[in-house]
Structure 1
């Protein structure tokens, strides 16, 4: 399957969790029972969901900050899940290049959302990364 499809699967479970307002380990276990993954794919999904649960407040604050006037509840749930994964990777996964996180987010949004969503996601993540790079240079 690979990292790209593992990332898609992470988006799917996060989307499901968001829709059902159920971020429990039971929901994740059911997802794993109903889908088959290689060990490294399962590890990526599990790490991603756990990191998001631990850091959701700061991740969502960044999404809202760069969404330019959009409240989280107005952002489509698919797009929100994609953004959460990308920002989590940028902040917490130093083994994944920033460019890869952004490109994968755009590709997933093109597959599961709209053309406008991919532009929104690209713009939001681009602004987020530019500000991070500026802060890191200080």
Structure 2
């Protein structure tokens, strides 16, 4: 797992936790992020930027997802899938340094890891349609297959799900 992939994973965990428990304190969230990312300052900033970007733009992101999610209401989607979609849609629509194909691929990996077997196909279909919402002028013709300056290193330490006891922001 790349460093940024790990950052996205932690961002997803925080977004999920905040949706399930809106009373989580900002200081608790910050400690959780620091602990999970081993206080790697650039990675913490990347992850925090994802979380803040999704939260600040959530109405716009949710509207884009609603537009393309045929026969699916946002509130009827699994919470984890909804947050994976928000994270991916944020990077596609509002992120500036990540190619759309990379954002979709990263979301698919999160869906495979944290959701059901069918979720990756669902997420792929929705995010592909979100990508099509973008004005053609805002997309470059040839996108690189990987992110710029992504380290191939993995983060050491145990892996856990967003609801692992003692690891979440509310712990």
TM-score range, shorter chain: 0.7 to 0.9
Hey, what does 2:124 align to over in structure 1? 122
Aligned equivalents of 1:70, 1:4: Cα separation in 2 = 27
Q: How many residues align?
A: 137
Hey, what does 1:69 align to over in structure 2? 71
1:115 counterpart SS class? coil
> How high is the TM-score relative to the length of structure 1?
0.88
Mark the runs of 5 or more structure 2 residues left unpaired by the alignment. 140-171
Q: Which has the higher contact order (CA 8 A, sep 6+)?
A: 2
The structure whose Rg is larger is: 2
> How high is the TM-score relative to the length of structure 2?
0.72
Hey, what does 2:85 align to over in structure 1? 83
- When structure 1 is superposed on structure 2, of 25-34 and 36-45 the one drifting more is 25-34
Hey, what does 2:7 align to over in structure 1? 6
Q: Which 4+ runs in 1 deviate beyond 6 A?
A: none
Aligned equivalents of 1:130, 1:32: Cα separation in 2 = 32
Are the aligned partners of 2:88 and 2:103 in contact in 1 as well (CA < 8 Å)?
Answer: yes
User: RMSD between aligned alpha carbons?
Assistant: 2.0
Aligned equivalents of 1:20, 1:106: Cα separation in 2 = 25
Q: String of CA shifts for 1:76-103, please: whole Å, max 9, x gaps.
A: 1111111111111112212101000000
Are the aligned partners of 1:15 and 1:81 in contact in 2 as well (CA < 8 Å)?
Answer: yes
Query: By percentage of residues, which structure has more helix?
Result: 1
Aligned equivalents of 1:10, 1:52: Cα separation in 2 = 10
